[in-house]
A and B are shown apart, each in its own frame.
Chain A
Amino acid sequence: MAERHFTRTAIALHWVTALIIAGAFPVGLLMGDMPISPLRIKVFVWHKWAGITVLLLSSLRLMWRATHAAPDAPAGMAVWQHRVSQVVQWLTYGLLFIVPLTGWMYSSAAGYGVIYLNLVKLPDLVSRNKELADQLKALHETLNWVLFSLVALHVAAALKHHFIDKDTVLLRMLRSSPKEQ
């Protein structure tokens, strides 16, 4: 039986999402400390666009995953390892929705609407409320650190599989059909 592999679409969605988060995360960390300036205003807006893009791509990914099964765990992998990897993956999936949503809610509560890519005016998720905005900001930041930790685990596991176990777990997220190489 041929080993199942990720589709090109799944791989593309994974890496585009990873790239956007790799940009939006450090920007989000730093932008709050930027002095008030036109650049700061733009950076905030770009950060929001990045978050909404993650939200959209994650929705697509989930639909894609529902209709295109992921490859099985490598043979011989401990059951507990598989379980942990599943938990980490699904928690990460959850945060790919919750983190942008809390950012969007924070923006709404702070009184800033979002016009996605200057094209689509998004609805305000909550009404303007300074106290709520402060709470949502803290929540958005905390959840980002949780996401960061999960991604760190995810990356560490991928590298461990590649360099220590020397299996195809990392490679199969890099090319769609390794056997053709």
Chain B
Amino acid sequence: MTPYLYLPHRLRPLRRRWMAASLAFAALSPALVQAAGFAADKSEITFVSKQMGVELQGRFRHFDGDIVFKPADPAGSRARIEVDLASIDLGAPDSEQEVKGKDWFLVASYPKGVFQSTQIRAKGPDHFEAQGKFTLKGITRDLTVPIVVHHAAGKPDVAEGSFVMKRTDFNIGQGVWADPDAVAIDVAVKFKFTLIGSAGK
């Protein structure tokens, strides 16, 4: 059992030399390089928006980042998630084209949505709370996200969480779209990250 799931940037002095050697080896063996800290293909970021009260599911196909998760040391844990906003999947190409435009995400100028944790705290067994900065369309706001970590024998841990954001806090949906009846102000975001290096429990 490894107490540290992933630690490329925060090496303990005693392990530095060994890590340098193994990183050199890893560089020769791309399969062993786990730059993200989570398996992107086994992770998901989805959201539910409401149109005229009707829930509509969406997701982002591509996102990247870095999660350092230490269950025994939440304060030493951190997460940075970068979402490729142009990879939005609404199930309707014309809607996807619209939300990339200036009234919505304006992806040409602001291609990424970023969450950077500032503090992670334990809230109970397998329950955590991540405080951080959430940046969308050039606007940064504080965001607190509850996280639950699920364990399954022989499988990597999965960190799950959700939060509700107000799209207007980030100027998402301006102009005619300011109308909250057509598209609700609140957007419920859900995420699931499969943490690399956490198997074998």
A-side residues, CB < 8 A to B, are 36-39, 41-42, 45, 110-115, 118, 128, 130
Contacts and interface: CB of A to CB of B under 8 A. Distances in A.
Nearest to A112: B54
A36 B91 contact: no
B22 interface: no
A36 B55 contact: no
B94 A36 contact: yes
22 contacts: A36-B94, A36-B97, A37-B176, A38-B176, A38-B177, A38-B179, A38-B182, A38-B183, A39-B182, A41-B51, A41-B182, A42-B52, A42-B181, A45-B54, A110-B91, A110-B92, A112-B51, A112-B54, A113-B54, A115-B53, A115-B54, A128-B91
B54 A114 contact: yes
Given A41-B183, A42-B52, 15 more contacts: A36-B95, A38-B176, A38-B179, A38-B181, A39-B182, A41-B52, A42-B182, A45-B54, A110-B91, A111-B56, A112-B51, A113-B55, A115-B54, A118-B53, A128-B91
A112 B53 contact: no
Contacts of A38: 176-177, 179, 181-183
Contact of A130 (B91, B95, B181): B91
B169 interface: no
Interface of B: 51-57, 91-92, 94-95, 97-98, 176-177, 179, 181-183
Nearest to B101: A36
B54 to A, nearest CB: 5
B4 to A, nearest CB: 40
Contacts of B94: 36
Given A41-B52, A41-B183, A42-B52, A111 B91 contact: yes
Nearest to A46: B52
B180 to A, nearest CB: 10
A112 B183 CA distance: 13
Contacts of A118: 52-53
Contacts of A111: 56-57, 91
A15 B53 CA distance: 30
A112 B176 CA distance: 21
Nearest to B94: A36
A110 B92 CA distance: 8
Nearest to B95: A36
Contacts of B55: 113
B71 to A, nearest CB: 36
Contact of A36 (B56, B98, B179): B98
A36 B182 CA distance: 11
A45 B57 CA distance: 17
B18 to A, nearest CB: 49
A112 B56 contact: yes
B96 to A, nearest CB: 10
A128 to B, nearest CB: 7
